Structure 1
Amino acid sequence: MVIVTVLSLVLLNIERRENYLEIVRTGISTLTYPLQFLADLPSRITGYLSESFASQDVMLRELDKMRQENNLLQVRLQKYDSLEMENMRLRSLLGSSYKLSDQILVTELMQVDLDPFRHQIVINKGSQAGVYVGQPALDAHGIMGQVTHVTPWNATVLLVTDSSHTIPVQVNRTGLRTIAVGTGDISSLRLPFLPNNADIQQGDLLVTSGLGGRFPAGYPVAAIDKIERDPGAHFTEATAAPKAFLDRTREVLLVWTASTAAQSATGNPTDTTGKPDAPAPAPEKGGN
């Protein structure tokens, strides 16, 4: 042991002065580097995997957060689309209302009658807003129907396609007057009283004639879409498609005609039932 210790001290002294063992040390380091690398490899792999899993977890959390934000933005975008469409509908209504010299009221759809044999809707304005029985209702495209029942806070509108509803119309192209009758089909009206030699064509626009004083004259009602002539019959069978979007409209315009406005101005306002103090004509049913 003493000999080994003395030899070590001698070698250390020689190395410190002459640096003879540097080549040997370098060779030994080169030979042992693969062993050092293999020995350190497990810890390196463990560290890399831990860092990878941690990074993946962070990325997954960020991805989940971005998905949630994307879903929220998609919901908001849907709302913006809905608001844009509502804005377009209101602009259409305002575009129609400026043409009216009569007073108008914009209402919203509350309920649709689920009875397949009755075409009725409920709107969110009633006698508190001056709504009365028999009042014309329309949308941005044409006549929808007329008010048949009123409460203080809402009203029922009978649509023109209801089988019990009739409306005086005229062919806009020729001025020919007739009656449009509801068929019970939301997309169709019947014209049962046209003479067989009547000058009508597919696509002819039917507008309100103003007869009876219920509907103001000149408003679109329907367009003729089918004509059947039987030489042996007295009348032509014709149908027409309503211009109003009866199954899609959410906003409904109620119109006070000039005569109604004048009646109100003379101190004869509607009462809480929605009917004028003076007798008002009943909703039109059957032929006129």
Structure 2
Amino acid sequence: MNEVFPRGQSLITRLALVLSFSVLAMYLDTRVESVSTARAYMTSLVSPLQYIADMPGALLNWSATRFTSRQHLLDENERLTEQITLMNERLQRFQALQQENNKLREFLDAPVQEQTYKMIAELMAVDNNPYSHQIVINKGALDGVYSGQAVLDESGIIGQVIEVGTTNSRVLLISDVTHAIPARISRNNVTVIVSGVGDINELSLDHVPHSIDLKLGDVLISSGLGNVFPQGYPIATVSEIVRDETQPFAQVKARPIAKLDRIKYLLLLWSESDAPENSVSSSGDISQSTENEGETVDER
């Protein structure tokens, strides 16, 4: 007698096939270099879909902006003007301090810090995987973005680029469990390692000795080690210290300074030698790199 609904493969067989394909995919991803290239092409292929998915939100934002009252726009413009004035005053003091610092470094025969260039990017999507803290931004290889690039917001370090497409890129946040960043305590320059724990409001410090000079409220800044994040950018503030002598290390928690749950606009960082066109330096100069006889020249 023929069954109306013939049975396919058993559940155990299907599970075995899925596991086999998963193991094979992980092996190829770690052993075959061409897989990363294929992933970049796939990212570029699906980028139009990401832009289409982002269109409803963009249209809503545009509609809200169009219907905003004139008085609200005037108040916002006045507030932003005041903020720009205050920031320009701080920039003037910063430039004077930077020049003084460079002279002191030359006097001590220490290397002068290279100028950093920046470009603004915008959030496109957030990874919905609860075990992975990643976002997608609207800048890619066409804008000079590269894998391992540092990403910030207006408050502090957000994370780093891990995957680059043609017009967008994927960023791993510092709160992800796979992310760690070399840091130092701004108060005394003691070096530590700050790791993500899978919580956007919490970070941890790894292998901290009980004798370390660490206090609640200490600010952790990037140390520059690892050649990913330039030194001096804020990461987190120490929020909890537990020194249990029965444990080999102290348990230290920190709170990210960057607003990881309210990301909208971000900053991509380049060194002076790698800055793409139209990126802006800390002093406000715009990089306009042009090729001249096989060499790249910055016209500032």
What interval of TM-score do these two structures reach, taking the shorter chain for normalisation?
0.5 to 0.7
User: 2:162 — aligned with what?
Assistant: 148
User: 1:167 — aligned with what?
Assistant: 181
TM-score, normalised to structure 2, is 0.57
User: 1:135 — aligned with what?
Assistant: 149
1:104 and 2:97 are equivalent in the alignment: no
**TM-aligned CA deviation for residue 101 of structure 1:** 2.5
Distance 1:85-1:194 versus aligned 2 partners, 3 A rule: farther
* Higher RCO structure (Cα 8 Å, ≥6 apart): 1
Distance 1:133-1:87 versus aligned 2 partners, 3 A rule: farther
Fraction of identical pairs, as percent: 39
Distance 1:105-1:173 versus aligned 2 partners, 3 A rule: same
For 1:220-256, what per-residue CA distance to the aligned partner results, in whole angstroms no more than 9, with x for missing partners? 0000000000112221100000011111121100000
For structure 2, the 5+ residue unaligned runs are 1-65, 99-113, 277-288
**CA distance, structure 1, for counterparts of residue 87 and residue 267 of structure 2:** 8
Name the SS for the 2:251 alignment partner: strand
User: 2:12 — aligned with what?
Assistant: none
**CA distance, structure 2, for counterparts of residue 78 and residue 147 of structure 1:** 40
Specify which structure has the higher proportion of helix.
1
**TM-aligned CA deviation for residue 174 of structure 1:** 1.2
1:183 and 2:197 are equivalent in the alignment: yes
**TM-aligned CA deviation for residue 165 of structure 1:** 0.4
For 1:106-155, what per-residue CA distance to the aligned partner results, in whole angstroms no more than 9, with x for missing partners? 01111111111111111111010000000000011110000001111011
Distance 1:154-1:82 versus aligned 2 partners, 3 A rule: farther
Aligned-residue RMSD, C-alpha: 3.6
User: 2:73 — aligned with what?
Assistant: 80
**CA distance, structure 2, for counterparts of residue 194 and residue 85 of structure 1:** 47
Matched AA of 2:184? Q
For 1:13-62, what per-residue CA distance to the aligned partner results, in whole angstroms no more than 9, with x for missing partners? xxxxxxxxxxxxxxxxxxxxxxxxxxxxxxxxxxxxxxxxxxxxxxxxxx
1:93/1:139 contact within 8 Å kept: no
Matched AA of 2:203? L
5 Å-filtered alignment, 1:45-60, equals: none
Distance 1:101-1:192 versus aligned 2 partners, 3 A rule: same
**TM-aligned CA deviation for residue 260 of structure 1:** 3.9
TM-score, normalised to structure 1, is 0.59
User: 1:125 — aligned with what?
Assistant: 139
1:244 and 2:258 are equivalent in the alignment: yes
5 Å-filtered alignment, 1:203-218, equals: 203-218=217-232
Name the SS for the 1:80 alignment partner: helix
For structure 1, the 5+ residue unaligned runs are 1-72, 270-288
Matched AA of 1:207? I
User: 2:269 — aligned with what?
Assistant: 255
1:133/1:147 contact within 8 Å kept: yes
Instruction: Give the aligned length.
Output: 196
Name the SS for the 1:248 alignment partner: coil
1:201 to 199, 211, 215: 215
1:107/1:125 contact within 8 Å kept: yes
User: 1:70 — aligned with what?
Assistant: none
Name the SS for the 1:183 alignment partner: strand
Matched AA of 1:80? L
Structure number with greater Rg is: 1
Distance 1:191-1:74 versus aligned 2 partners, 3 A rule: same
**TM-aligned CA deviation for residue 80 of structure 1:** 3.4
**TM-aligned CA deviation for residue 261 of structure 1:** 4.6
For 1:172-198, what per-residue CA distance to the aligned partner results, in whole angstroms no more than 9, with x for missing partners? 111111110101000010112111111
Distance 1:254-1:74 versus aligned 2 partners, 3 A rule: closer
Choose 100-109 or 241-250, whichever is displaced more.
100-109
Matched AA of 1:173? R
